[in-house]
Each structure stands twice: as C-alpha cells, then as structure tokens.
Structure 1
Amino acid sequence: MEISQALEHSQPGLVKRLTTATRQHQLNYRSEQTYLHWISRFVLFHDLTDPALLKADDRRLYLDYLTAQVKVSRARLNQATQALAFLYSEVLTTPETPAAA
C-alpha cells in the first residue's frame, strides 16, 4: 500500500486536507512530504485507524515505538512529533495535547 493510500483509507479526503493546510501555512514542498510520511506511518502503525479517533496516548505509543524500536534520531523524532501536532491542530482541528517525546 502506498503511503498516501493509507491516509485515504483511514479517512477519505485526508491527503487533500493535509496538503491544503500545509500550503495555507506556506510550508515548503519538502516539509509537506515529510509530514505526509510521518502521519502515514502513524496511521499504518495503528492499523489504518482514522486518526480522528486516536487519542494522545496513541500518539505517545507511536512516538515511544519510534524511539525504542526503530531508534530514530532525535531530529526525526522531532519531525514526527511536529507532523502529528500539525495534523491534530491544523487539519483535524482538535485541541493538541502534548505528546511525550
């Protein structure tokens, strides 16, 4: 499954909403692609569950997985954290609760 397909499967129209939000915030194309990447991995990690149904604990679980199992660098973990914060604050427009990094 292609990364953008995972997002569409979890919530139809999510890729377009995410792309629109990144462009409204004048993020560059590379940032947009990075956010798509981390958000898609988040959705895949949670078996294509609609991200609107996932809670702060689910975000923490994913970030802990990236740290402990995947062993991503601090910079990559920050990217993932920022991508999720953007998703929940700007795309899904739910209050952002801080995720443990």
Structure 2
Amino acid sequence: MDSPAPQPRLRDQFEAVIRLHHYSIRTERTYWYWIRYFIRFHRMRHPREMGTLEVNAFLSWLATHRQVAAATQNLALNALVFLYAKVLLQPLDEIGEVVRVKRPARLPPVLTHAEATEISACWVSRIACWPP
C-alpha cells in the first residue's frame, strides 16, 4: 500500500504561498523572521496547534517585555495573519485585547513670540538672519 506523502515543511509551504502572491523578497524574509520568533516563543510548537490566544500572548509580550515600536508590533501581527490566513488556511478569529504599543505623542514645533517676530523681521528686511 502507498503511504500518504509527507506534508512539506512549514518553511517550504510559506515560501510557495508568499511567492505565489508576489510579495517582495524583503517582505518574505521579514515575515519568516517573525514566524520563527513566534514559534520559538511558544517553545517550538507548530502554529497549527496554536491560535488566537498564543498570537495575543506573543504580541502582548513584544509590547511589554521587548518594548518594540508600534510599527514592529504591527509587522509581527501582519506576518502571523498571513501565515494563518494564506499558508495554514486557518484565519485567526478576533485577536482580542492585545497590549498595544503606545505611539509617542508628537508635539509640533512651536515658535516663541520673540522667534516669530524675529523671523518676520528678517523676511521683511530680506536679510538672512535666521537662525540667530
């Protein structure tokens, strides 16, 4: 009797699917990095054995312990969503309350009254006097 063919390795499956979708090689490498990190974080468990709870725990850990930037956390999330939706064909349910990285508040540069007056005076007299 013929035994069923062994299933390809996860990496081979991932590469085939991501190339089928025409992602760039840099995106492929970055996604694979985060997928491997996720697997190692959960002590080498196969992603098929895990689900939204493990994804939530990993993303929350990135925010609290690794203190990654918001864009980095979003990139890791995108890699895992791609893995589950496109490669494993098991789309993730609602991920739930992930500890999100807080983006730093950006204060717009504001000039003091004296600086604004000085700039206006320079423009009126057409003299290049800024910065003082």
Same fold (TM over 0.5): yes
Q: CA deviation at 1:96?
A: 2.0
CA RMSD of aligned residues (A): 1.4
Counterpart of 2:37 (choices 41, 46, 58) is 41
Unaligned segments of structure 1, at least 5 residues = 1-10
Equivalents in 2 of 1:26, 1:98: separation in Å?
A: 27
Moved over 3 A (4+): none
Structure-2 residue corresponding to 1:80? 76
Judging by fraction of residues, say which structure has more helix.
Answer: 1
Amino acid corresponding to residue 76 of structure 1 in structure 2: T
Equivalents in 2 of 1:44, 1:66: separation in Å?
A: 13
Q: CA deviation at 1:98?
A: 3.3
Unaligned segments of structure 2, at least 5 residues = 1-6, 101-132
Question: Identity over the aligned pairs, expressed in percent?
Answer: 32
Counterpart of 2:86 (choices 83, 87, 90) is 90
Q: TM-score normalized by structure 1?
A: 0.85
Q: CA deviation at 1:46?
A: 0.2
Q: How many residues are aligned here?
A: 91
Q: TM-score normalized by structure 2?
A: 0.66
Structure-2 residue corresponding to 1:14? 10
**Higher relative contact order, structure no. (Cα contacts within 8 Å, ≥ 6 residues apart):** 1
Equivalents in 2 of 1:73, 1:18: separation in Å?
A: 26
Structure-2 residue corresponding to 1:25? 21
